[in-house]
């Protein structure tokens, strides 16, 4: 499969799963966390499919397309490894949903991210809340959720806090 085909398949899966979770996430109180603003594509989609939810976005920097820029209150700048543990005064409630889009193409680096990110996510997610991530996380207080049909096994993980 070409890299273009692989990219298209990854983006399609991401969109299908984001939309698949909407009704269940809306039943849980709390904001949404977008980890990795990047170009702002998934943030822009999240705010379209979750018009009632507050969305807090994390990234080192704000380099997105201007039409997808979060306002200053909802953009949390810095290394997520440092900011996530201390975002409570701004984010206030535990999150109903976190979309994690900060993986790399390097399996060793991804394992390192997963090891510091897993306990931080456990802290920030409300009971019943969901995480969607391409990284395999170590989350003893979560169960793994079935993905919608057609999603390549192992490509994404959905976790739900019990």
Instruction: Quote the strand ranges of the chain, DSSP E.
Output: 32-35, 55-59, 75-77, 95-100, 125-133, 142-144, 157-161
**Cβ proximity of 124 and 98 under 8 Å:** yes
- CB nearer to ligand SAM: give 78 or 128: 78
Q: Which of 81, 90, 92, 152 binds ligand SAM (CB under 6 A)?
A: 81
Q: Which stretch binds ligand SAM (CB under 6 A): 24-32, 75-83, 121-129, 135-143?
A: 75-83
Q: Which of 53, 123, 136, 44 lies closest to 84, judged by CA?
A: 123
Q: Which of 19, 79, 123, 138 binds ligand SAM (CB under 6 A)?
A: 79
- Residues 128 and 143: their CA atoms lie apart, in Å, by 10
Q: Which of 98, 102, 120, 121 binds ligand SAM (CB under 6 A)?
A: 102
- CB nearer to ligand SAM: give 81 or 90: 81
Q: Which of 36, 49, 110, 136 binds ligand SAM (CB under 6 A)?
A: 36
Does position 128 bind ligand SAM by CB under 6 A? no
Does position 80 bind ligand SAM by CB under 6 A? yes
Paired tokens of 135 = 């990284």
- Residues 96 and 107: their CA atoms lie apart, in Å, by 28
Residue ranges binding ligand SAM (CB under 6 A): 36-42, 58-60, 79-81, 101-102
């Amino acid at each position: 499969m070409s890299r273009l085909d692989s990219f298209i398949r990854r983006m399609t899966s991401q969109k299908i799963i984001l939309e698949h979770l909407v009704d269940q996430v809306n039943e849980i109180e709390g904001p949404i966390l977008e980890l990795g603003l990047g170009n702002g594509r998934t943030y822009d989609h999240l705010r379209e499919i979750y018009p009632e939810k507050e969305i807090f976005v994390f990234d080192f920097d704000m380099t997105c397309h201007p039409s997808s820029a979060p306002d200053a209150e909802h953009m949390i700048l810095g290394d997520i490894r440092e900011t996530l543990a201390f975002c409570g005064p701004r984010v206030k409630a535990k999150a109903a949903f976190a979309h994690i889009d900060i993986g790399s193409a390097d399996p060793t680096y991804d394992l390192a991210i997963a090891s510091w990110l897993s306990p931080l996510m456990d802290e920030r997610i409300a009971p019943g809340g969901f995480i969607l991530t391409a990284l395999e996380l170590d989350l003893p207080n979560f169960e793994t959720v079935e993905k919608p049909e057609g999603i390549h096994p192992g490509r994404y993980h959905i976790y739900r806090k019990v």
